[in-house]
Structure 1
Amino acid sequence: MTVTTETDTATDWLLDDGLAPQSDGDPMAPLYDGAARGELVLPFCVRCDVPLDLEQQVCDRCGSFEKDWRSTELVGIVHSSTLMHRLEAGLVTATTPYPIIDVELAGGHRLIMTTIDPTSTAPRIGDAVLIGFRTLGGVSIPAARINPAPLDTEARP
């Protein structure tokens, strides 16, 4: 399945560019490199193929220390969400509340993210999302598009 996503190259709507991750030499560089290409690249255990958390070093299922970063589907559902009421000069540039979303991805991973576009409402648990990317200080990072256009039947999470 191919899902068209957008990467906004303008200043990020939520955070100061100084908070951008340093992608060179970062253990999560495959995530950022994939995001720059419009792909969601996440870690899987080499031995048993279980999805791993981003910074997980050892597989909980088989004990392997080897991981393989590969592209995953850009669809998921909201597992939980909250509306953050935090204004912090020099870090958070948004001036209104913003959502923080725990997304359960179709490929088995879960990621915490916000939305591609500014919104002051939190999505409902169970809402479908498409994963796109925001650009923070020149680094692409995953973000959710809430209430996407209806997905075709093959793309449903």
Structure 2
Amino acid sequence: MTGTARTAPRDWLVDGSLAPHVDETPPGALYRAAERGELALPFCLSCRLPLEPEQRICDGCGGNAVSWEPVPLRGTVHTATLVHRLEPGLVRASAPYPVLDVELDSGHRLIMTTLNPATAAPAVGETVTIGFRTVGGVRIPAAVPAAAHSETTEDRP
């Protein structure tokens, strides 16, 4: 190949300008792991309690040592909503889209949408696997409902 530039795939939901900033702060570890196809999240090094990505002090033991570790790509829909929002230029979807609160098997909870466009939200209690969308060149976690699991678990350029 001679001098061709590879462009990031266009996300189905939002404009690339809404991509998260990846740096050396703790949440950056989540996006660096996603680039490798892993979901890495923080645990308290002392008591092993799952922590929020920005959390620096453990609610369980008060410890401040954090370990970012790969977790299983599986969880359960804790809450779900269907968002009806059109915002030309930022939100690409022209129909309602799901936003999910997923409780991962690791004990963490993440807010995400689905890997692919969906006109209905998965049911509360439904098992999902985690794939990765690409927004502005940054890979982010996205849910793959059980019904859609046979289609794909990862976006492709």
Q: TM-score range by the shorter chain?
A: 0.7 to 0.9
Give the distance between the partners of 1:59 and 1:34, measured in 2 at CA. 22
Aligned to 1:124: 123
Deviations 1:37-66 (A, max 9, x none): 000000000111100011112100000111
Aligned to 1:143: 142
TM alignment of 1:5-154, pairs within 5 A: 9-148=8-147, 149=149
SS in structure 1 of the partner of residue 124 of structure 2? coil
Give the distance between the partners of 1:81 and 1:37, measured in 2 at CA. 27
TM-fit CA distance, 1:25: 3.2
Amino acid at match of 1:90: G
Moved over 4 A (4+): none
Give the distance between the partners of 2:9 and 2:25, measured in 1 at CA. 23
Give the distance between the partners of 2:83 and 2:35, measured in 1 at CA. 27
Deviations 1:98-137 (A, max 9, x none): 0000101001101000000001101101101000100000
Larger radius of gyration: 2
Give the distance between the partners of 2:88 and 2:79, measured in 1 at CA. 27
Deviations 1:3-28 (A, max 9, x none): xxxxxx52000010000011123431
Amino acid at match of 2:121: A
Amino acid at match of 1:147: A
Give the distance between the partners of 1:90 and 1:130, measured in 2 at CA. 29
TM-score by length of 2: 0.87
Moved more, 25-34 or 38-47: 25-34
| Identical counterparts, % of pairs | 54
Give the distance between the partners of 2:120 and 2:127, measured in 1 at CA. 15
TM-fit CA distance, 1:88: 0.9
Q: How many residue pairs were aligned?
A: 142
Is there any run of 5+ residues in structure 2 with no aligned partner, and where? 1-7, 151-157
Amino acid at match of 2:15: D
Give the distance between the partners of 1:26 and 1:44, measured in 2 at CA. 15
Aligned to 2:4: none
